[in-house]
Amino acid sequence: MTPAPLTYSCSRRRELLKQRKVKTRLTIAAVLYLLFMIGELVGGYIANSLAIMTDALHMLTDLSAIILTLLALWLSSKSPTKRFTFGFHRLEVLSAMISVLLVYILMGFLLYEAVQRTIHMKYEINGDIMLITAAVGVAVNVIMGFLLNQSGHHHAHSHSLPPNSPTTGSVCGHNHGQDSLAVRAAFVHALGDLVQSVGVLIAAYIIRFKPEYKIADPICTYVFSLLVAFTTFRIIWDTVVIILEGVPRHLNVDYIKEALMKIEDVHSVEDLNVWSLTSGKPMAIAHIQLIPGSSSKWEDVQSKAKHLLLNTFGMYKCTIQLQSYRQEVDRTCANCQSSSS
């Protein structure tokens, strides 16, 4: 039989290898996005096409998403410090806010220009350069989709040891690998970019051979700005929820509490807090009171509660605080209620 340390070492090596491959593919994708985004901005400026520049703006949102994913993978390997005991995961949230703010500033400028063009119609567009740039954009997005679609999957677990005393809370960690999900999300973004690039290509074809229909350029800007706003709204909302330490949208506190109450020897769930450290990393603190005479079974209850939160509800980390049954608490509450009535 293979020794446990050797098995863990091999598993860890495979995990690091897969993560390295994912980082490499995402880095290549980010470089390609950056280069072509710059190329689109230059081509759009030379062609005097707002549609091309708006397409570059949408590409900026996808580039930001990839950079945030790489940042999250890098931060996940950083150990917490005495000052930042949770680590640096929330830098990802801060970066997301800055990138979305930048996107909205640029989008506002492009929308202003599109409105001016729609009103005055005093502009000329170089159809040849617009057509070439749009065609290259379609080709780049096809390459991007192929690159991201070839990525493998990664899954990792990390659990800390439980404490040895029932009077203290137990802290445990559970890390489902987010990199394969991130690659799949980047692939979906690439498909969206491909559809948008095809739209720009169609508009460029119309403008190249029918210059009198140049209104197609600001119309594309309006449509693509709506797409950018739609794709960034979820980022804004998720960021707000994380900053305000709200419950992640895929979790229900009442359902979690009901599941904890079903554990044998649990009398009540005194307190339950659920929030996100950052995107994809939900946390939980549960204060559980045991039924009378079951204090000796605290380890079993603790183990079941940890397993429930980590595996069933997918918590990244959790803290379980156990308390023996205290009947005097009930009497005190009864006295408070009688005195207030």
Q: What is the pLDDT of residue 2?
A: 46
Q: Does the predicted model carry a pTM greater than 0.95? A: no
Domain boundaries, the chain: 8-152+181-244, 253-324
- Asked if residue 1 has pLDDT above 80, the reply is no
Phi-psi region of 210 (alpha: psi -120 to 50; beta: other; left: phi over 0): beta
- Which of 3.40.50.360, 1.20.1510.10, 1.10.645.10, 3.40.50.720 is the CATH number of 8-152+181-244? 1.20.1510.10
DSSP 5-22: HHHHHHHHHHHHHHHHHH
CA distance 249 to 253: 10
Structural domain 253-324, CATH architecture: 2-Layer Sandwich (3.30)
pLDDT over 90, % of the chain: 13
Instruction: Among 147-151, 175-179, 307-311, name the most confident range.
Output: 307-311
Number of Cβ within 10 Å of residue 61's Cβ equals: 21
Query: How many residues does this entry show for the chain?
Result: 341
- Asked if residue 331 has pLDDT above 80, the reply is no
Q: What is the pLDDT of residue 308?
A: 92
How many angstroms separate the Cα of 238 from the Cα of each of 92, 93, 235, 249, 287?
12, 9, 5, 9, 27
Structure tokens at 164: 């040895």
Which spans in the chain are helix H? Answer: 4-47, 50-76, 91-120, 127-149, 179-209, 216-243, 253-261, 298-307, 327-340
Element (H, E) at 284: strand 281-290
| pLDDT tier at 191, thresholds 50, 70, 90 | confident
Q: What is the pLDDT of residue 284?
A: 93
- Asked if residue 153 has pLDDT above 60, the reply is no
CA distance 339 to 113: 69
pLDDT over 70, % of the chain: 78
- Asked if residue 320 has pLDDT above 70, the reply is yes
| pLDDT tier at 155, thresholds 50, 70, 90 | very low
CA distance 220 to 203: 8
CA distance 133 to 201: 8
46-77 pLDDT, tens digit per residue, is: 998 888 888 888 788 778 878 877 877 777 67
| pLDDT tier at 283, thresholds 50, 70, 90 | very high
**Mean pLDDT throughout 269-294?**
89
What is the three-class DSSP state of 326? coil
| pLDDT tier at 12, thresholds 50, 70, 90 | low
How many angstroms separate the Cα of 91 from the Cα of each of 41, 73, 302, 340?
28, 12, 32, 48
Domain 8-152+181-244 and domain 253-324, same fold? Reply is no
What is the three-class DSSP state of 305? helix
What is the three-class DSSP state of 317? strand
Question: Are 158 and 174 in contact, with CB atoms under 8 Å apart?
Answer: yes
| pLDDT tier at 255, thresholds 50, 70, 90 | very high
CA 175 remoteness from chain centre: 14
DSSP 131-144: HHHHHHHHHHHHHH
State the first-to-last Cα distance of the chain, in angstroms, to the nearest integer. 68
**Mean pLDDT throughout 75-91?**
78
What is the three-class DSSP state of 332? helix
| pLDDT tier at 259, thresholds 50, 70, 90 | very high
What DSSP designation does 296 have?
Answer: G
CA distance 38 to 91: 26
CA distance 185 to 62: 10
Q: Mean of the per-residue pLDDT values for the chain?
A: 78
